Structure 1
């Protein structure tokens, strides 16, 4: 394990930033000196006692910080350390992230303005100003995205014989094949709609792929000229692989948009097609299930709301950049959008669908090499997992270490005649996943199976409804958590009869019970038979499935009851130790940090002299580097091959370190409005291991971005021969090894 001191790692970093502007060159350049902020200067002239920690200057805007995260994801497509198909994947992920950002965050801001419910955050920015800055940044990022795609990704893929062939470059043989494909596979199921008083504008669902067509001439009914809309059926693939016999070798792909565009005249026989332009409309996709109006049928209310998700209010229009202004303006008016909501696109309007490339071409050499996750010997297949858990606690870090012990734990419990009960929370897992299959088997085998399914896991609601139905059909008891509080905790409790006693076995995690995510996300899994933790988890399930007063737990921290306040207490304890001249240290690794009371506690600890490192993958509203407030706080974000998802809270605690792993981020919703747990690592060997892994992240100088006082992020750039990547180090240390 890499044990480079944090101070040494930082001293050797070379600061750079990614330039996102309208320049033609796509390069990393040194960041220019930032202009002096007079408000920040005035703040820094105050003594710590005089500083108001509610001052808006001490906070970044949540949504603009989210945009910064999306920008960092986009820059992975420029990183030549990633294989070329993985770089394409990052472009697709950026596109998907931006879709959700507009569907939820931008839509929410627009709703505030529409219904006069404007609410400024701690940063003090009015929603209207936030929308203006989002539009400005998003337009730059989208332009950059398509320059990267057209000028870098496509040419580099072509060098490896993966070619996206536009219609202007089809050979005669290829054109003939495409024509037959259009005639046989596209034309029979496509339904163009000419616009006139008898044919109103069709109701287009969220993010569907469409064309607007300019027509000239007179049709059979005497209608002259005009516009038509051509919705592309969702059943059609957005990418089509040309057969080898019509190509000169390699993998050759064509876009559905090119196929439809090339044959648009066949959709309107006898008419002249003046122009054909692809476009896509993004709508508000946030569900509004009112907890006070749903009675006892949350599932029924959610099913009803899902029907309307596809037709929320308009938020964004993406359209081909060669579309005439009069046509664009007509669409903007139709969707009640403004120019700021318009995104002119130089390429496919939905890049996330380019993920299909991975299924259409078999080119493993253009992607990261697969690896075998590590697995402790006593948890390997065929071993008695209950005996192993009785002997000691186990900590696994996915994807570097295998997720299979978690599945094995449930599968073995389902078949074990001594297991009498299984309880589990599920947030995102899939109706046909290995976890779901094990729970179904357990219920059918007569175990008392109780599952808390969070139906409102965003964009997984339909899948979770299907999962609930499947488990209920198998005989499991299914509950939907607590009204007004999403259940986000990751817990399994297995009760096993051993002689004359009932023993409890527990899994706690930082991530979802999703085997696919466990190969892509970094998460911790903790397996224990500790009686106190087992009793704590039992009490949490009592609260989730029944009705009771708050039950006191011994070792777990439990949101919304004790987690936030205990975190604040531990931060304050470090501050008090620093004031006494004792050594102090805080390291927190989360996906996002927005909770104002936690941020203010960290500010106070920094003022007291506590050295604080925050590893925050995404949104961070804390402003580091403010003299007298946060000069002892450093914030970095790690973006790499795997999505960072672990949540760790480390406190030096006067030489008796406290290490908590959690399902909870440092956000208002996690600490105040969700069911979450944080669990301690009591085994000092495991606690030291996590500390070393945190230091590995702090030493990263190749995939880490450092948050600056102005809200920008600088990419760390290593000196020659001094490359340190946390994910690569962990992959080397933990994968494919037996312990």
Structure 2
């Protein structure tokens, strides 16, 4: 690596806006990379269908949160340009242009690629034109018996105004001709599909014969819409779907009970301000104009869909179909060797740290640790954070059992975890009823840290056992997301976690931690200091390198610090799954920075920071990305991997392994475009497949 002399100038004047990619546009680009998975014929077919559904779900959330926020700021004239210098007035048209490209590609993938490929495997999503007479008779009976009784079609006139339409629900706009019983001429009508109705209907095998045959609910409603309006001629029916602002706004300082305030706010979420209208591609402009008027939208908020407006529902068949040849090969997560010797976990952890790399290694080890704590009479207290827990996690049952066993149990539940607010309120209520002390975090700061503390009496003294993780205590996600977990009894880490829990529950003063990086207090400052330390090493001609694995990177001062370090001579490799605001490869600024994104079978979720530190490397795993919200507005933890063997393993598995990936990696250029890496003359290397083979013994590739 070229080395600079200490007296060389290292920082050039940097025009700020030109140095940053826009975070919203960068977030959209991630979905193109996911869509590429849906189009990749080397991936099992039902997995491709699942990737298509993921794109649709991501796009929903993008509009519900990011676009909604931009539109709201633009409406009130309060939007300040981001680091890239782009105002909301400039950004919204750019977003629309890119979303239109994504939607076209999405439906082209569905119509031209996945549909025919599924049909070739005898999996059919049938349209009306494809129904056999036998299928039509069965579907008509299903409609009459299962669907029609729960529908409430609504004709539109002055006495029947446009109804409230719930967020992301399926609806049919109907044009009627003829007179009703009261002498009124034909009119418009709406059919709202209740959420109780299945969005995908499977036709029984005895009706369809060979294969798996499905019908979208929208197709069923449009096919038998005339049965809902007897006496009228249906001149047209058109499916549509509206997306609304889903951000909950609660002035926390002004409420006495956050759970109650959020519960009340949730009641109105489904009817908040609309931000997007999806409509069938065949819908006439007159109907579109009517819907735009009623939703108080603009033409630029309309997205025409060449297929079902709720294409996300196609992914529902993934879990239903037992077609192993069309899915990724099954694998069995393993346990670290140190946990397979029959010894108690406390005995093992008293002697060594244990690293867990999910999903390759089982989340069951975390459950076993808590279960052992619940049953151990020497355990006095258990403290845990819960951000997203999932519906069927055994952890909650164990926390309830621990409280009933007389242990002191404290759980910090983040009620404001986006889209999990309602579930977390129910969870908090259940735990409180069992005698658990429940804390809702800190006003103004989301508690995003993932940590569990167990206090145990041993030989007359108290000892702390800790589990820390980059991911949530969510057992289902632990099979789908890559994350790093650490179990340790290190005294200083235990003391640090004890102080953090004290601060969360007691709202105590500033605390001083020995080992952990703690947002919003020391994490941001420490990251900047460690980047500058690498820059200084480079200026002194010493080894200097930074490697970081993140979900997103957009904090402007961190980006600027990385640019300055690169100019000082630091080699920097960033593995950023989603939105990255940094521009790599800018002449004289970021030529030493390389950015890649890995998109594969598992969602990359672990955050790992590695600093060369003059041949005395430091490595941290964290719950925090290098984003403004994580570094400044959340409670986050970065924890060091102190055991040299485990530190080497984390570096090898999560960093070096991913930098070598040449099959699932996408390389970012300075213009914000991603190019898929190819093996070229090298042997193909998939980071995820390598870990499946190494840790789980799996031998099959994608």
Q: What interval of TM-score do these two structures reach, taking the shorter chain for normalisation? A: over 0.9
Deviation by residue 1:403-455 (Cα, 9 ceiling, x = unmatched):
11101111111111110000001100035411111111111111100000000
Q: CA deviation at 1:547?
A: 2.5
Which residue of the other structure, out of 310, 314, 328, is the alignment partner of 1:354? 314
Alpha-carbon RMSD across the aligned residues, in angstroms, is 1.4
Q: Structure 2, unaligned stretches of length 5 or more?
A: 2-8
Distance 1:337 1:477 in 2: 46
Distance 2:685 2:73 in 1: 44
In 2, are the aligned partners of 1:431 and 1:464 still within 8 Å (CA)? no
Greater relative contact order (Cα < 8 A, sep 6+): 1
Which residue of the other structure, out of 71, 75, 79, is the alignment partner of 1:110? 71
| Pair 1:699–1:377, CA change in 2 (3 A) | closer
Quote the residue 1:56 is aligned against.
Answer: 17
Aligned residues: 691
Q: CA deviation at 1:292?
A: 2.4
Q: SS of the residue aligned with 1:224?
A: coil
Matching of residues 23-172 of structure 1 within 5 Å: 49-52=11-14, 55-172=16-133
Quote the residue 1:727 is aligned against.
Answer: 688
Higher mean alpha-carbon deviation, 528-537 vs 332-341, is at 332-341
| Pair 1:238–1:670, CA change in 2 (3 A) | same
Are 2:197 and 1:236 aligned?
yes
In 2, are the aligned partners of 1:430 and 1:436 still within 8 Å (CA)? no
Are 2:179 and 1:218 aligned?
yes
Matching of residues 276-675 of structure 1 within 5 Å: 276-294=237-255, 296-380=256-340, 383-430=343-390, 432-675=392-635
Higher mean alpha-carbon deviation, 381-390 vs 561-570, is at 381-390
Q: CA deviation at 1:721?
A: 6.7
Q: SS of the residue aligned with 1:571?
A: helix
In 2, are the aligned partners of 1:430 and 1:464 still within 8 Å (CA)? no
In 1, are the aligned partners of 2:573 and 2:593 still within 8 Å (CA)? yes
Are 2:252 and 1:252 aligned?
no
Q: Normalising by structure 1, what TM-score? A: 0.92
Q: CA deviation at 1:260?
A: 1.1
Q: CA deviation at 1:48?
A: 5.5
Q: CA deviation at 1:77?
A: 0.4
Distance 2:217 2:526 in 1: 55
Distance 1:95 1:381 in 2: 45
Distance 2:149 2:340 in 1: 53
| Pair 1:380–1:307, CA change in 2 (3 A) | farther
Distance 1:551 1:126 in 2: 39
Deviation by residue 1:74-130 (Cα, 9 ceiling, x = unmatched):
111011221000000000000000000000000000001111112100000010111
Distance 2:585 2:561 in 1: 16
| Pair 1:194–1:139, CA change in 2 (3 A) | same
Q: CA deviation at 1:727?
A: 0.5
Moved over 6 A (4+): none
In 2, are the aligned partners of 1:430 and 1:467 still within 8 Å (CA)? no
Quote the residue 2:6 is aligned against.
Answer: none
Q: CA deviation at 1:626?
A: 1.0
Quote the residue 1:179 is aligned against.
Answer: 140
Quote the residue 1:12 is aligned against.
Answer: none
Distance 1:615 1:373 in 2: 24
Distance 1:344 1:561 in 2: 47
